[in-house]
Amino acid sequence: MNITPITDKTHWAIPFILELYEEAFPPHERRTTQQLLALIGHADMQLELVEDEGQPVGFVIWWIIDVYHYIEHIAIHKSARGKQYGSKIILQLLKLSGNKLVLEVEPAESIDAQRRISFYERLGFTIIPFAYMQPPYRKDEHANALLLMSIPAINEESLFNKLVYVISETVYKQFY
């Protein structure tokens, strides 16, 4: 498995990434195609292609925020799921981040959401026990109730509030 940073909007894998992005995330949990393409090359955002034997299998979008790395999106193509690509990506990001990762997940209201939460828990993430509203990707939309999960566990509300503020300002609001 190789993880390759994408720094050019004309990279050969952009069509694969965009198709998987739209398939894996509902519109209110993702940027528009134009917004995502405009972020390629942004200093704090990393878009990385996941390949196996030269074939694209997924991607990850992550940000450096404060002392944490924030995973905005991670998706593996349905034909490549169950082969531990997601786990390998997370393990690489853990090393890179000094074991300080944060990500959003949907509340455990569906079998798929429960499965995702369990996947992250097996990797060492814990649900942060404070209410979280994902800021909207577009100024005219509303926030969505999601959960934040982290490594290491965050149980201090002041740290949680600081993290939410930095995520909101760095990943969402500066692009309205």
Instruction: Please report, for the domain that includes residue 18, its CATH number.
Output: 3.40.630.30
At 16 the pLDDT is 98
pLDDT digits (tens, 9 = 90+) for 90-135: 999 999 999 999 999 999 999 999 999 999 999 999 999 999 999 9
At 117 the pLDDT is 98
Q: Which residues of the chain are under the pLDDT cut of 70? A: none
CA angle 71, 157, 68 (to 5 degrees): 25
50: containing domain:
2-175
Q: What is the pTM of this model?
A: 0.94
At 73 the pLDDT is 97
At 91 the pLDDT is 96
At 66 the pLDDT is 83
- For the chain, what is the domain count? 1
| Residue 128 and residue 151 in contact, taking contact as beta carbons nearer than 8 Å | no
